[in-house]
Amino acid sequence: MPPLAIPAYTATTALGRGREAQAEALRARRGGLRRNDFGTAALDTWIGRVDGLEQAPLPEQFMRWECRNNRLAWLALQQDGMLDAIAALRERVGAERVALVLGTSTASIGETEAAYADLHEDADGQPQFAPGMRRPIVHTPHSLGDFVQHATGLRGPCVTVATACSSSAKVFAQAARLIAAGVADAALVGGVDTLCGSVLYGFNSLGLVSTQACRPFDAARDGLSLGEAGGFALLERGHAGSTLQLRGYGESSDAHHMSTPHPEGLGARLAMADALARAGIDAAQVGYLNLHGTATPANDAVEARAVAALFPDTLHAGSTKGWTGHTLGAAGIVESIFALIALQDGLLPGTLNSSDADPACGPQIRFDNVDRVITHAMNNSFGFGGNNCSLVFGRAA
Amino acid sequence: MTGVTRQQDAVGARRAELAASVEGIGFWSQGLPSWDAAREVVNGGAMPDAAPSRPSPQLLAPNERRRAPGSVAVALEVALAACAAAGRDPATLPSVFASMHGDLAITDYMCATLSVDPQAISPTRFHNSVHNAAAGYWTIGAGCVQPATAVSSFDATFAQGLLEALVQLHAGAPAVLLVAYDAPSAGPLAQVSPSIGLLGAALVLSQSPIAGRPRIRCTLRDAQAPAPVGPLAEIAGDNAMAPMLPLFTALASGDDLACLHAGPGRALRVEISHA
């Protein structure tokens, strides 16, 4: 595929607000996980919570979209000059020529949960949402896309991708297709997911949540830590002066099981190989791979084998879930941004909280950080339903 | 792109045509359990005498057919019907699953259970609550390792899903499966997110013109799409996926134009050349 420029990007996670907070915490190996203090905090687990959302309501004109998830979207958009960059792009190419493709797993279902926790009986004795909760948009998966569309004034194709934990990786692929087909000249991509009862208790019901801070690729790992995050990036064809680029994407399905990865990592391998092929590079040219690495026993062993099958021993691959927690539908954008930081700063994160590598790990899986200039970085995001996406990023020559 | 200015490139790209052949169509609504039945009523014919109350998707094992959420059942039913009509092996097709809400009954279950006994959440219902549940069951049932996506865009979901299917063709996929569906709402959620009955439709779209198959050509523009009218809208107009019905009405009746709501002030104009 022709490379697409990435002239601006930002992320807000448990590590802090904006790009520098991410880079600094990755470099200092300072994790953002804490003991669960969300909601009733009844589950014994660790979470990657974004501070300050409770004190950051949406501006008055956006009250229709008010909810934790859109608060985080708004907070993230205000970092690193992203709103200004969007406005400048809108002026330059035209609002209708900028696509908006955002990923989320649960959108603002936290608001629907809150409505159910505060039902009022009507005259017929039927339970009803409180008046302030009767805002249809926040009870749909497109809550995020609709909010950002209104907040940015973009008028190109606008869609929310919701393929669980691969959502905001797939947004790069869909946006690249819209641009390649001439439906848009540029795109705002990104993703936001926030902590809520559905995911905390849902992953708990599957036995996938650890009582400790997650330990990706450790032999003793016993589950994930959930997190919340938001991130955005601009994609544009032929943007002079921008050095970061989307070089390739690969997507696949496992065709195996709804919540367990394919035992040989079939889909993961297909997605990675497809991304490398579309980028037109060999596996040996990848300097850093941000792994999906959720710290569930199944995912990490399968992913480690798939990586060992495709890449030389020299690859530096790690999971940053120990820093941020698993941010679900936001993992794709956040970890793509970590890959962009690796490209820009030569900072290759290892893996936090882990000490004894699982026997399935090849020499590619690294626990320590390394400083090294690289030419290509990659990100893996895999989701429920066996939904896989890999992305390749590079720098303009 | 060396030597091509952005402006030239954009002008060239604007000429790019978003077009596809409609190789196969699947349809299922309450009372109209097939595309043949839908075509019949659009053209003035009668409703079938005895229509099943729920689809029974053959892609799933018999026990799974009964247990599958309604949204999954209707999506898999129309997806398989479209592949059969196209004569395409489901395992070979990348797919786009478009649904405004996913499965509202599961959302109702999740939120109701969380409000009384969060530890009682069913793991199966939880993994079925993801928006790509139907896409997951489809790729598993069909043994399909091709990419699958799941999208939502409020009342513009169908048009945005169609757009993604068309740009997948443009990016080189020989054929793409588009599946659109929504399920009935449930509980207190039904007051804010209304949707009645099961409704699903699927298209197998391909790049090349094919004799005997309709060809669609799509443009995104500033316009207000009119509300769906006609027999399909009378039967299934209260389902959240009703904004897709103008295209299926036109495909059934031989009309050469359908206008689909594509977002605030935006519409996808679909020109249809019937073979």
A280-313, pLDDT tens digit by residue?
Answer: 999 999 999 999 999 999 999 999 999 999 999 9
Rounded distance, CA B19 to CA B170, Å? 9
Q: What does the pLDDT average to over B48-57?
A: 93
Q: Out of A165, A196, A361, A389, which one is annotated catalytic? A: A165
Number of domains in chain B: 1
Kind and range of the H or E run holding A227: strand A226-227
What's the gap between Cα A187 and its chain centre?
17
Query: Mapped to the 3 state alphabet, what secondary structure does chain B carry?
Result: CCCCCHHHHHHHHHCCCEEEEEEEEEEEECCECCHHHHHHHHCCCCCCCCCCCCCCCCCCCHHHHHHCCHHHHHHHHHHHHHHHHHCCCHHHCCEEEECCCCCHHHHHHHHHHHHHCHHHCCHHHHHHCCCCHHHHHHHHHHCCCCCEEEEEECECHHHHHHHHHHHHHHCCCCEEEEEEEECCCCCCHHHHCCCCCCEEEEEEEECCCCCCCCEEEEEEEECCCCCCCCHHHHHHCCCCCHHHHHHHHHHHHCCCEEEEEEECCEEEEEEEECC
- Note whether A182 contacts B100, CB cutoff 8 Å: no
Give the nearest partner residue to A258 out of B94, B127, B264, using CB atoms.
B127
In CATH, A4-395 is 3.40.47.10? yes
Provide the token pair at B187.
């509980």
With cut-offs at 50, 70 and 90, classify the pLDDT of residue B188.
Answer: very high
Share the mean pLDDT of chain B: 93
Active site residue A326: yes
b/e burial code for range A59-83 (CB count within 10 A of at least 16 → b):
eeeeeebbbbbbbbbbbbbbbbebb
- Give the tens place of pLDDT for each residue, B207-246: 999 999 999 999 999 999 999 999 999 999 999 999 999 9
Q: How many residues does chain B have?
A: 275
Tell whether B239 is covered by a domain: no
CATH of the domain at B176: 3.40.47.10
Chain B residues whose beta carbon lies within 8 Å of the beta carbon of residue A384? 127, 130, 132, 136
Bridge partners, B155 (sequence order): B153
- The CB density around residue B222, as the number of other CB atoms within 10 Å, is 10
Evaluate whether A214 touches A198 at the Cβ level (below 8 Å).
no
Rounded distance, CA A215 to CA A225, Å? 9
Provide the token pair at A44.
């014994």
Query: Minimum mean pLDDT among A369-373, B58-62, B70-74: which range?
Result: B58-62
With cut-offs at 50, 70 and 90, classify the pLDDT of residue B115.
Answer: very high
Pairing label, strands A316-318, A288-290? parallel
Provide the token pair at B238.
């209260």
Residues 111-140 of B with CB under 8 A from A: 111-112, 114-115, 118-119, 121-123, 126-133, 135-137, 139-140
Query: Minimum mean pLDDT among A68-77, A232-241, B89-98, B127-136: which range?
Result: A232-241
Kind and range of the H or E run holding A89: helix A82-93
Tell whether B85 is covered by a domain: yes
* Per-residue pLDDT at B11 exceeds 60: no
Phi-psi region of A391 (alpha: psi -120 to 50; beta: other; left: phi over 0): beta
Q: What percent of chain B has pLDDT over 70?
A: 94
Bridge partners, B62 (sequence order): none
- Give the tens place of pLDDT for each residue, A310-360: 999 999 999 999 999 999 999 999 999 999 999 999 999 999 999 999 999
b/e burial code for range A221-246 (CB count within 10 A of at least 16 → b):
bbbbbbbbbbbbbbbbbbbeebebbb
For the full predicted model, state whether its pTM sits above 0.90: yes
CB pairs under 8 A between A and B: 248
Bridge partners, A5 (sequence order): A236, A245
- Give the tens place of pLDDT for each residue, A237-278: 976 777 999 999 999 999 999 889 999 999 999 999 999 999
Tell whether B41 is covered by a domain: yes
Q: Could you please report the per-residue DSSP string of A126-187?
A: -EE--GGG--GGGGSTTHHHHHHHHHHT--S-EEEE--GGGHHHHHHHHHHHHHHTTS-SEE
Provide the token pair at A271.
């997605």
Q: What does the pLDDT average to over B37-58?
A: 95
Q: Out of A67, A158, A196, A292, which one is annotated catalytic? A: A292
Q: How far is B54 from chain A (nearest CA, A)?
A: 23
Query: Chain B interface, mutation test: which of A1, A38, A142, A260, most B Cβ atoms within 10 Å?
Result: A142
CB of B167 within 8 Å of a chain A CB? The answer is: yes
Tell whether B137 is covered by a domain: yes
Instruction: Specify the pLDDT at position A42.
Output: 86
Q: What does the pLDDT average to over A204-208?
A: 96
Query: Minimum mean pLDDT among A12-21, A255-264, A358-367, B145-154: which range?
Result: A255-264
- This model of the complex carries an ipTM of 0.98
CB of B6 within 8 Å of a chain A CB? The answer is: yes
Instruction: Specify the pLDDT at position B2.
Output: 34
Q: Which domain holds residue B136?
A: 17-212
